[in-house]
Structure 1
Amino acid sequence: MTLIDRNAPVLVTGASGYIASWIVRYLLEEGRTVHATVRDPSKKSSVGHLEAIAAKSGGKLKFFKAELLEQGSYDAAAQGCELVMHTASPFIIGGFTDANEALVRPAVEGTRNVLETCNRTASVKRVVLTTSIAAVFGDNQDLRKIPGGVFNEEHWNTSSSVDHQPYSYSKVAAEREAWKMAKAQTRWDLVCINPAFVLGPSLTKVSASTSIETIQNLGSGKLRTGVPRLMFSLVDVRDVAKAHILAGDIPAANGRHIIAAGEASLLDMAKMLAPKFPKYPFPKMEIPKAAAWLFGPLTAGISRKFVSTNVGWPLKLDNARSKRELGLQYRPIQTTLTEHFQQLIDDGLLKRR
């Protein structure tokens, strides 16, 4: 049981990020003090939306410059904090030449760097770590090895590597490092938040993510000829942010928490959006797996191994623990998709082909 003083500042790493921005907003709206780490506190395109939120809230916001791979750079921000929300981690699916340098090393060493700061900071009592369902499983086909056919918090990703699903590998490697460090000391405890594929409105127009790209592709016409049968587990970014705050404040919170509203395929998502936005060219059919295997590397930048181990395979995750122990209530997937799509239109980020 860990009691957090709500008057003490809360450290949020990577505070300008997609999920972190919502965490900061909710904390400020509760009147709390936030120590926000970012790469460049003077960069208005990165922090301006947070400053605007702070100005309208009853909370206090203070920025600190920090880098994942710079040892000691989080020390000043952690001073006086009892609760640390570590969200900062690279979220890159492609476009790099060295997966270890682009993803794995920053995720693992960055986590180690932040937790070493927690070890040095006497005030810290709890760390809430943003991890992912990618630390639970690597490929949809991994489900065939799971009794009952449902992933839960007891399961760990053992199928990813630097060469196959390197983003997923970076998440499981970072979380394992976090648990190793947590168990090596007794002053602070660790609670992990394992979100599904995060969708929903962003608090800034400059946010770039795979989430945004996926929704853009569905509505732009890029996929009008059809989509592969690829199942996703989805969750609203606002529910993920709430989960972090609940995990920080509930004294009995512990362990891992899958944060997922439910599952849907790419075609399911298109069918949810099409009636709301009839002018956009959403896909209306699924393409055969053989076609996805043949053309995926050329048209979508996905490997044939990814197609083999994900396309056509079912997916199911158990979110019962998050509802039971955190009291989390989930938004309907259709609501999340609709509000996300509308924001892309409003922000001028959706162009039809």
Structure 2
Amino acid sequence: MDPSAPVLVTGGSGYVAGWIVRYLLEDGRTVRATVRNPDKPTGLEHLHALADAHPGRLTLHRADLLDDGSFDEAMAGCELVMHTASPFLMGRLDNPQEQLIRPALEGTRNVLNSVNRTESVKRVVLTSSVVAICGDNVDMRGKDRFTDADWNTTSTPNHQEYNYSKTVAEKAAWAMCEAQDRWDLVTVHPGLVLGPSLTTSSVSGSMTTMAHFIDGSMALGAPALQVGVVDVRDVARIHIAAGYTPSARGRYIANAETISLLDMGNALRRKFGNRWTFPRIELPKFLIKLSAPAAGLTRPYVERNVGWPVRYDNSRTRDELGIEFMPAEQSVVDHFQQMIDDGIAKR
């Protein structure tokens, strides 16, 4: 990989992408970041600040996931493409097919169509997710933990729609990679990504999850729900290591550890004191099922996830990419601190 060749980062205004762009620039790389509208007046301030701090090494380019060919110009001359762009929405959706599934699947195909047309590209790093490995926590039944060899086989367009969108998009990427022999593919599989954002404009399921610790929805108690957690800064470092480690291959789980929502509430209480919105107990599952529709959850989701443990094997990521993960509690606390700093959460 030529260190002087530009790197393309799709979805450049996103939560994870912002840190990837920042670290690439700090490493001395030249970066091209795609966004839907480079001229919009708000939401790109952090990228403009990075461009000012690294003169001549960051440019923004217009591209849209659903517009085949729109990535060609930005990709020209790049050897490494990091495809992070994909919607991350949780809760009740009006049209999951149009909001999640089609952008994830067609967007991945459109980016990789551009890769196929761009002779300079040697490697693609795709942001997938642990949800492409595990659909529901109950799917771990009979296993000690999930590994990179596992695939989500239980999500559908009507159940765990986000999980389904990431699974079909990744499968499409592997199929396109295997149909040629010029470029290779490495996929990164984060758990719930937490930690500070470089912008207040990103909208994702990570922000949705943390909002439950301030909106009173868990004041009486939390669901007995375990989630894999990883720091956004580690996710960015994993992408870069996956891009520039010649021996990198296959799928890398980006998950520091598994913690419960109550664990997260306890971590917040230790740092920020006794807010009434921080849960102190786990509620019985039947109560969670009764209130699920009002909370934007389905009862099948509650049945298949609440009360079930989940574990992921990140050993390949640590051993092959040299990653030492930040503790999950640090990521939770740092994320909430930024919510305070941004005025989203009041002290």
The interval holding the TM-score normalised by the smaller chain is over 0.9
Maintained 8 Å contact 2:339/2:345: yes
Partners of 1:100 and 1:208 in 2: how far apart?
19
TM-superposition CA deviations, 1:147-191 (whole Å, max 9, x none): xx2000000000000000010000000000000000000000000
**Which residue number corresponds to residue 5 of structure 1?**
2
Aligned: 1:18 with 2:15:
yes
1:347 Cα offset (Å) = 0.3
Partners of 2:241 and 2:56 in 1: how far apart?
18
Partners of 1:44 and 1:32 in 2: how far apart?
26
Letter paired with 2:75: A
Matches within 5 A, 1:1-353: 4-57=1-54, 60-146=57-143, 149-281=144-276, 282-298=278-294, 300-351=295-346
Does the residue aligned with 2:13 lie in a helix, a strand or coil?
coil
Structure 1 unpaired stretches of 5+: none
Partners of 1:286 and 1:279 in 2: how far apart?
17
Does the residue aligned with 2:31 lie in a helix, a strand or coil?
strand
Partners of 1:11 and 1:301 in 2: how far apart?
36
Letter paired with 2:327: P
Maintained 8 Å contact 1:128/1:248: yes
Maintained 8 Å contact 1:29/1:59: no
Does the residue aligned with 2:109 lie in a helix, a strand or coil?
helix
Letter paired with 2:48: E
RMSD of aligned residue pairs (Cα, Å) = 1.2
Letter paired with 2:298: S
Q: Relative to 1, partners in 2 of residues 1:88 and 1:190: Cα closer, same or farther, differing over 3 Å?
A: same
Maintained 8 Å contact 1:27/1:59: no
Maintained 8 Å contact 1:138/1:168: yes
Partners of 1:166 and 1:210 in 2: how far apart?
13
The total of aligned residue pairs comes to 346
Does the residue aligned with 1:276 lie in a helix, a strand or coil?
helix
Q: Relative to 1, partners in 2 of residues 1:29 and 1:153: Cα closer, same or farther, differing over 3 Å?
A: same
Give the 4+ runs in structure 1 shifted more than 4 A: none
Maintained 8 Å contact 1:229/1:287: yes
Structure 2 unpaired stretches of 5+: none
Partners of 2:150 and 2:92 in 1: how far apart?
29
- TM-score with structure 1 setting the length: 0.96
Partners of 2:16 and 2:198 in 1: how far apart?
9
1:267 Cα offset (Å) = 0.3
Moved more, 73-82 or 208-217: 208-217
Maintained 8 Å contact 1:30/1:59: no
